[in-house]
């Protein structure tokens, strides 16, 4: 084809439809990245920008109105427009090249954009730099929305008879068993590997979707040779390797949202701040709704942010780091980094969402660095809404990048992160967030330290591991309690027999895994109610398994006078609830029947008769929230990557379903089998086996 580029280029597609772009300049490479991503994923890209901007209802109808209203309350489009205007010139140039490539695809393929556009009867509008920022902000929102946790804790504290100390214990920042430093990612030095060179592994855990969250891409141009996965709608490679370094990314979990309780008058937008009356800014917008009249929305914006939660006469405004000035797109610098110093210099510009980056290079070095704008809180933690009028709960800027947790070439030669809290207890700044308990990170570390001589393909065996230290502990506690207090309960005997022979594997065919999960849910409910009578029954938190285990180990009498009685009731209630789901014969229970996943195409999957062809599943899944292969009914590993610094062509990468968003493409879900059975697909880098090649010449 011909395209407005500066020199001839080629796009070689491998057997999985991954484009390997070779261009005469980085501008041309990024232009072609925009083109091929739009070619495969335009409906997904359009959906991402509409979801973030609050514009789904324009093409879907009133079914998505509430989703759009929340996006408008969060001011996502306004934030993206502000960010696009203030991008550093170099970042702007990269985003502009990508947008030109997307738009060249749109210009040259009118009427051929794909089935979803035809079914919904609309064409996508041109792509803009603001749209790329919106796609990035949508991921930011997915990974940092914690304001609902603040309301949950506030409501528990408001329950009659609530115990503040107990409620605090339900929402810990540390479990007490964290492994420093501190999705899974790890880096191991050559002391642990067969090649004597570092390996970097990464499998970020995100919501299942079809098409996949990630788009695989390889970009080659003078000064640029990088491969890995990109986020549709945004330029560059987000996770992957170049010819010198490899890196992986997982969510940090540091709290970057605060709710402020405002003394606010919704009639005129006046509110108090430090004894003075201030005026909120009123922003009004129209939401287009397919088949309906447009709906007007009005959002008041205080100095803290938009007012978007109101209960009775109580109003809250939301401060969020994503709305702070200074948005940047540093991944072009990451993609070209040659060493740790250049890599961390690029990361220092990364605004968020806060992430854990692990690193390895061809010179034998490994490293870790936390990133993102993390607020410095003066005299509060951010765990519940605070008084917005007093002025006593403002942010004192952001933690300097140099003081964020990091490590370079640790003595043990091993770095493991799995969303656990990486901040030490004596950290100079207040730490609050939605961190994961250390079960996954501990199990990964145990597996990796069990031997040496690791090869890239063997990393996948760790990524797919479904052993749950928490569930194994809970099973042992249930058995011990049953021996002491419950041997006279014949209804539980079959469950006890299954637990006796269980090895802690959350396998899809395991009845014991199902039993333990149902009992855990009952114990979590009982503990929540003990802390906040009447309201704690719905208690849930990322750290809940660690809370349950720590209380079971300590069995404090100020929670329950008779812990055995509580555990046995949870055991009986859990089996009773399980019977409602899977029948009275516990031997016939299967964890996978409960932990079942359906990945639905948002448009085609809803078609009568043929919708199932567009979807993946329903299918039983092994794994749980506390296993290295973290899998629930909604989230799981979004891709698997292993970077081999000794031989880049031995690196591995695959995504969940396939490269293409077009249902009739052979690459729509051709990677699903490899993903489901945890196989391996080598990343082609130095040598590309092209199944087809597109030559691109300058011109129109």
**How does pLDDT run across 193-248, given as a tens digit for each residue?**
999 999 999 999 999 999 999 999 999 999 999 999 999 999 999 999 999 999 99
Give strand pairing partners of 695: 10
Cα distance between residue 180 and residue 576, in whole Å: 40
Q: What is the pLDDT of residue 135?
A: 98
Q: What is the pLDDT of residue 182?
A: 34
Cα distance between residue 144 and residue 257, in whole Å: 7
Tokens at 641, concatenated: 């990557």
Q: Residue 555: CB partners within 8 Å, gap ≥ 6? A: 563
The answer to whether the beta carbons of residues 436 and 422 sit under 8 Å apart is no
What is the gyration radius of the CA atoms in the chain, in angstroms?
26
Q: What is the pLDDT of residue 612?
A: 86
Cα distance between residue 229 and residue 309, in whole Å: 36
Q: Residue 139: CB partners within 8 Å, gap ≥ 6? A: 231, 353
As a whole number, mean pLDDT of residues 100-112 equals 97
pLDDT over threshold 50, residue 572: yes
Domain boundary assignment for the chain: 466-627
Q: DSSP letter string over 640-665?
A: EEEEETT-GGG-EEEESS-S---TTS
Q: What is the pLDDT of residue 181?
A: 44
Pairing state of beta strands 314-320 and 616-620? unpaired
**How does pLDDT run across 646-660, given as a tens digit for each residue?**
999 999 999 999 999
DSSP state letter for 684? P
* Dihedrals phi, psi of 479, to nearest 5 degrees: -65, -45
Q: DSSP letter string over 123-169?
A: -PPPP-HHHHHHHHHHHHHHHH--HHHHHHHHHHHTSTT--HHHHHH
- Rounded (10°) CA dihedral 524, 527, 528, 532: 170
The answer to whether the beta carbons of residues 528 and 157 sit under 8 Å apart is no
> If you search the block for the tokens 């540091």, which residue do you land on?
254
SS3 for 241?
A: strand
E strands present in 362-465: 366-370, 375-377, 386-387, 395-398, 406-408, 414-417
- Domain 466-627's class? mainly alpha
Q: What is the pLDDT of residue 613?
A: 87
> If you search the block for the tokens 């300049």, which residue do you land on?
25
**How does pLDDT run across 132-187, given as a tens digit for each residue?**
999 999 999 999 999 999 999 999 999 999 999 999 999 998 765 544 443 689 99
CA dist 592 to 32, 558, 595, 657, Å? 42, 37, 5, 20
In this predicted structure, which of 112-126, 168-182, 269-283 has the lowest mean pLDDT?
A: 168-182
Give strand pairing partners of 259: 318
Cα distance between residue 373 and residue 624, in whole Å: 30
Cα distance between residue 610 and residue 388, in whole Å: 53
pLDDT over threshold 60, residue 503: yes
Cα distance between residue 46 and residue 120, in whole Å: 13
Global confidence as pTM? 0.96
Q: What is the pLDDT of residue 180?
A: 44
Cα distance between residue 347 and residue 354, in whole Å: 11
The answer to whether the beta carbons of residues 676 and 208 sit under 8 Å apart is no
Q: DSSP letter string over 529-546?
A: HHHSTTTGGG---TTHHH
* Dihedrals phi, psi of 346, to nearest 5 degrees: -65, -45
Split at pLDDT 50, 70, 90, the class of 491 is confident
pLDDT over threshold 90, residue 463: yes
Mean of pLDDT over the chain: 95
Q: Which bin fits 653, alpha (ψ -120 to 50), beta or left (φ > 0)? A: beta
Going by C-alpha positions, the residue among 581, 613, 449 that lies closest to residue 515 is 581
CA dist 328 to 88, 375, 405, Å? 7, 17, 21
pLDDT over threshold 80, residue 398: yes
As a whole number, mean pLDDT of residues 361-389 equals 97
Q: How far is CA 136 from the centre of its chain?
A: 12
Neighbouring CB atoms inside 10 A of 409's CB total 13
CA dist 210 to 140, 326, 398, 614, Å? 20, 32, 36, 9
> If you search the block for the tokens 């695989």, which residue do you land on?
216
pLDDT over threshold 50, residue 681: yes
**CA dihedral for 54, 59, 60, 63, sign (positive or negative):** positive
Going by C-alpha positions, the residue among 500, 512, 507 that lies closest to residue 476 is 500
Burial bucket for residue 644 (CB in 10 Å: 0-12, 13-18, 19+): buried
pLDDT over threshold 90, residue 511: yes
As a whole number, mean pLDDT of residues 622-649 equals 96
Cα distance between residue 316 and residue 309, in whole Å: 5
Half-sphere exposure of 366 (CA within 13 A, CB side): 29
**How does pLDDT run across 657-676, given as a tens digit for each residue?**
999 999 999 999 999 999 99
**CA dihedral for 247, 253, 254, 257, sign (positive or negative):** positive
Give strand pairing partners of 307: 317
């Amino acid at each position: 084809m011909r395209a407005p580029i500066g020199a001839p280029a080629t796009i070689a597609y491998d057997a999985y439809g991954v484009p390997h772009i070779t261009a005469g300049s980085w501008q041309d490479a990024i232009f072609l990245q925009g083109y091929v991503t739009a070619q495969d994923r335009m409906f997904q890209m359009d959906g991402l920008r509409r979801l973030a901007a609050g514009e789904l209802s324009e093409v879907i109808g009133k079914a998505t109105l509430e989703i759009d209203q929340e996006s408008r309350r969060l001011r996502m489009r306004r934030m993206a427009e502000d960010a696009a205007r203030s991008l550093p010139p170099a970042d702007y140039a990269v985003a502009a090249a990508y947008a030109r490539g997307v738009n060249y695809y749109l210009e040259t393929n009118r009427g051929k954009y794909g089935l979803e556009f035809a079914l919904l009867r609309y064409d996508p509008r041109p792509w803009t730099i603001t749209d790329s920022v919106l796609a990035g902000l949508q991921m930011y929102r997915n990974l940092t929305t914690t304001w609902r946790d603040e309301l949950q804790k506030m409501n528990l504290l408001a329950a009659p008879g609530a115990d503040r100390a107990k409620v605090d214990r339900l929402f810990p920042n540390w479990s007490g068993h964290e492994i420093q430093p501190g999705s899974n990612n790890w880096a191991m030095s050559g002391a642990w590997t067969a090649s004597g060179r570092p390996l970097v592994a990464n499998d970020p855990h995100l919501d299942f979707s079809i098409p996949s969250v990630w788009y695989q891409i390889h970009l080659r141009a003078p000064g640029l040779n990088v491969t890995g996965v990109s986020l549709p709608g945004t330029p560059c490679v987000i996770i992957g390797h170049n010819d010198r370094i490899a890196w992986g990314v997982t969510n940090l979990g540091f709290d970057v949202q605060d709710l402020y309780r405002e003394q606010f008058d919704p009639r005129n937008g006046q509110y108090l701040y430090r004894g003075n009356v201030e005026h909120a800014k009123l922003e009004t917008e129209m939401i287009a709704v397919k088949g309906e009249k447009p709906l007007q929305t009005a959002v008041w914006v205080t100095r803290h942010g938009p007012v978007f939660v109101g209960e009775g006469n109580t109003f809250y405004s939301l401060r969020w780091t994503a709305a702070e000035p200074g948005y940047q797109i540093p991944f072009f610098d990451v993609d070209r980094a040659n060493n740790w110093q250049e890599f961390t210099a690029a990361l220092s510009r990364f605004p968020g969402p806060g992430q854990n980056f692990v690193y390895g290079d061809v010179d034998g070095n490994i490293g870790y660095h936390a990133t993102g704008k993390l607020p410095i809180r003066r005299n509060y933690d951010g765990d519940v809404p605070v008084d917005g009028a007093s002025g006593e709960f403002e942010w004192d800027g952001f933690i300097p990048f140099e003081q964020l947790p990091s490590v370079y070439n640790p003595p043990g030669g091993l770095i493991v992160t799995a969303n656990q809290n990486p901040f030490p207890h004596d950290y100079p700044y207040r730490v609050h967030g939605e961190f994961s308990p250390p079960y996954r990170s501990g199990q990964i570390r145990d597996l990796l330290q069990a031997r040496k001589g690791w090869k890239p393909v063997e990393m996948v065996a760790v990524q797919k591991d479904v052993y749950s230290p928490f569930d194994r502990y809970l099973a042992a506690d249930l058995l011990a309690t049953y021996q002491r207090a419950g041997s006279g309960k014949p209804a539980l005997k079959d469950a006890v027999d299954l637990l006796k022979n269980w090895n802690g594997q959350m396998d899809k065919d395991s009845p014991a895994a199902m039993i333990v999960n149902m009992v855990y849910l009952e114990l979590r409910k009982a503990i929540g109610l003990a802390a906040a009578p009447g309201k704690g029954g719905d208690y849930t938190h990322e750290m809940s398994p660690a809370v349950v285990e720590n209380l079971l180990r300590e069995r404090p009498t100020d929670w329950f006078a008779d812990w055995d009685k509580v555990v046995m009731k949870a055991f009986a209630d859990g089996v009773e609830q399980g019977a409602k789901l899977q029948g009275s014969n516990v031997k016939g229970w299967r964890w996978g029947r409960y932990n079942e996943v359906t990945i639905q195409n948002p448009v085609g999957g809803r078609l009568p008769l043929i919708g199932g062809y567009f979807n993946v599943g329903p299918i039983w899944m092994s794994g749980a929230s506390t296993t290295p292969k973290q899998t629930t009914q909604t989230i799981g590993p979004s891709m698997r990557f292993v970077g081999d610094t000794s031989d880049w062509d031995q690196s591995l990468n695959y995504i969940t379903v396939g490269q293409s968003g077009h249902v009739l493409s052979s690459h729509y879900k051709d990677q699903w089998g490899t993903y489901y059975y945890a196989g391996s697909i080598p990343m082609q880098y130095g040598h590309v086996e092209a199944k087809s090649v597109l030559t691109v010449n300058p011109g129109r």
